[in-house]
Amino acid sequence: MRLHTTSIAAVTTLVTAGIVLGQGRGNPTEWPTAYGDAQHTSWIRSDVSISPETMSQPGFELQWTTTLVSPARRGVSLSPGVVTSGVNIFTPLSTIAAPSNQIFAIDNDTGNLFWTRRFDGTLAAGTAACPGGISGALTRMVSLTTPAPGPGRGGGRGRGAYSSAVGEPGAGVPIPSRGGGAGRGTPAPATTPPPTPAPAGGGRATVAPPASTIPPGQSRPSPFPTNAAAQGGGGGLFRPSGVVYAVSADGMFRTLGLVSGKDVRRPAPFLPPGARFSDLIAVNDMVYTATTHGCGGAANGIWAIDASSDTKTVVSWKTNGGDPLGSVAFATNGTAIVAIGPRDLTSGAGPGDVTSGGYANAIVALDPKTLTVTDWFTQPGVELVAPPVVFQEAGKDIVAVTTRDGRILLLDAGSLGGTNHDSPLFASASLTGGAATFAAESPAMWQERVAVPPAAATAPATGAPVAPSAPLAPDGARWLLIPVAGPLPANLGAAGNGAVSTGAILGVRIAHQDKFSVQPAWISRNIAAPLTPIVVNGVAFAASGPSNAPAGLYALDGATGKTLWQSENTIVSALSGRSLWAGSGHVFVGTRDGTVYAFGFAMERH
């Protein structure tokens, strides 16, 4: 019994402390999976320090580089990372898979290697189509619903202002009032507040402990936390740091503790060895990936494993047609949404093809548990080139997808293509005019926020610039940011930001008043071979990824496309695949030489 009561007391005190600990410290933004969330929006809603305003000021710069010993396989050495805040309570961590059958964990603040893990086994040489090794990014469990935008940095509970007091002779010390107003201005000598009586009993601070926060190791009700707890779903300082999911080169499914990289669950067979698999994504205790190119004998299709069960049941679905494009996205009801590309042209089939039992150039909805097809969309003449993004509008999940001929299609996720499976809610005209194609990269989706009257300003708690902290509502303009592989037509009607020759980001405003409409609004500066941009608090970070030149990183105003910042010649190697991610106030780029570049505002770390 004593253990229990001790725990409660400890929780009482430490939760009290934790309230303070958790406020105003560091930058808690996370990137739990490729594309940032289950809907693949690539959007971090709010951030402590990054905003169009702060990016317009000096200070955003290279913070550190770390070179990892990770031999490239077929031009890729590092996957996009996954960011977890609060590992061992206070460490923001990026976990990065490498084709060399390794996982790296890096402290986002310092660039120090936190742990590394190399899985057993010898890798075959691989081919361009089937490089072998780990081909998909890691994932943590993600929620099906995206969090509401936060208010940015809040002030948190203060501890009052400094003060002093003196007691009457023999009366002991008076305890000063701690609610002191936070006067501003030049620091002044302490004033003397009126003495207040000491508490008669000297009682403890009394904060009722939440029943669910018995510290592990004290009573250990379960040896393994729920996924929600493991993923940081609550529990304050006592919550476990969580796990990250991986697939090693031998196709085994791995559940790795974020503190150490150890297998905290028995590895389980998932994919055929040598399979080429996409970035992982995990929702509702299931982990999903897509296989392509028939590598390792794995048919093109979608695979899922029950991460929570002891049996680790695996289900899969074959496209019997094209390769899945990218990884799996989800509607908010849990339905898996997959874009299927064209069939291998050697097979003789063409665009817009759903034959009996086979899918190509289609958007397919799958039951999340059984991976059986529940719905699909395809249309003659539509050739899909990139994974979709899902957003919510008027209570519906809307699937946005781009086509090779430069169109934007919007589909009702609840009825893909209608009864005939060929009718989108909206289809734009071609925006590329035949001069360019949309890149084979998913669009990003973000929404401007309209400020409501700000709360009282509070002092910054870090040396970094502080993004606006007023509560914001997500009811502003919605944007689709589309990577484009070449110049766009001059008559597009979008504001330009310089000549475009080898690629750009196209900003398209999406409006909905009974019907959808799209308005090309801006074209970024030239960005060669751009990846899907990542939007952080209204700033779109775009990376240029040509295979024959050093990568570049650009910060664009998400509403105008104006270049706010660029990395110039900082990055000296080509981008490693799609190795771009963000979180904890940083934007990270991984290059083919195994180097991770961390850009952000200085934290006055030294």
Site for another protein in 80-109 (CB under 8 A): 86-91, 107, 109
* Contact between 67 and another protein per CB under 8 A: no
| CA–CA separation, 296 and 281 (whole Å) | 21
Single out the residue of 69, 129, 148, 198 in contact with another protein (rule: CB under 8 A).
198
Q: Residues 357-396: x/- map of binding to another protein (CB under 8 A)?
A: ----------------------------------------
Strands 534-536 and 43-44 come out as parallel
Closest contact distance (angstroms) between CB of 534 and another protein is 22
Closest contact distance (angstroms) between CB of 596 and another protein is 17
Single out the residue of 61, 129, 224, 269 in contact with another protein (rule: CB under 8 A).
224
When the beta carbons of 117 and 578 are compared against another protein, the nearer one is 117
* Contact between 314 and another protein per CB under 8 A: no
* Contact between 42 and another protein per CB under 8 A: no
Site for another protein in 283-312 (CB under 8 A): none
The amino acid present at 98, given as its one-letter code, is A
Backbone angles phi, psi at 288, to 5 degrees: -120, 150
Closest contact distance (angstroms) between CB of 546 and another protein is 36
Closest contact distance (angstroms) between CB of 61 and another protein is 16
Single out the residue of 189, 194, 348, 434 in contact with another protein (rule: CB under 8 A).
189
Site for another protein in 110-169 (CB under 8 A): 110, 112, 114, 158-169
The helix (run of H) or strand (run of E) holding residue 11 is helix 2-21
Site for another protein in 168-187 (CB under 8 A): 168-176, 178, 180, 182-185, 187
Q: How many chain residues interact with another protein (CB under 8 A)?
A: 99
Q: Are 180 and 160 in contact (CB under 8 A)?
A: yes
When the beta carbons of 163 and 309 are compared against another protein, the nearer one is 163
Single out the residue of 10, 144, 373, 477 in contact with another protein (rule: CB under 8 A).
10
When the beta carbons of 3 and 129 are compared against another protein, the nearer one is 3
| CA–CA separation, 535 and 443 (whole Å) | 11
In 10 A of CB 1, how many CB atoms?
A: 5
Helix (H/G/I), strand (E/B), else coil: 287: strand
Single out the residue of 82, 97, 123, 264 in contact with another protein (rule: CB under 8 A).
264
Site for another protein in 16-35 (CB under 8 A): 16-17, 20-21, 24-27
Q: Are 274 and 130 in contact (CB under 8 A)?
A: yes
The helix (run of H) or strand (run of E) holding residue 479 is strand 478-484
* Contact between 60 and another protein per CB under 8 A: no
Backbone angles phi, psi at 236, to 5 degrees: 55, -135
* Contact between 69 and another protein per CB under 8 A: no
Q: Which pair of tokens denotes residue 144?
A: 């099906």
| CA–CA separation, 561 and 524 (whole Å) | 5
| CA–CA separation, 537 and 468 (whole Å) | 10
In 10 A of CB 266, how many CB atoms?
A: 11
Single out the residue of 31, 60, 104, 238 in contact with another protein (rule: CB under 8 A).
238
Single out the residue of 99, 133, 225, 352 in contact with another protein (rule: CB under 8 A).
225
Burial of 348 (0-12, 13-18, 19+ CB in 10 A): exposed
Angle, CA of 288, 290 and 294, to the nearest 5°: 145
Single out the residue of 59, 154, 215, 272 in contact with another protein (rule: CB under 8 A).
215
Closest CA to 97 of 596, 482, 604: 596
* Contact between 604 and another protein per CB under 8 A: yes
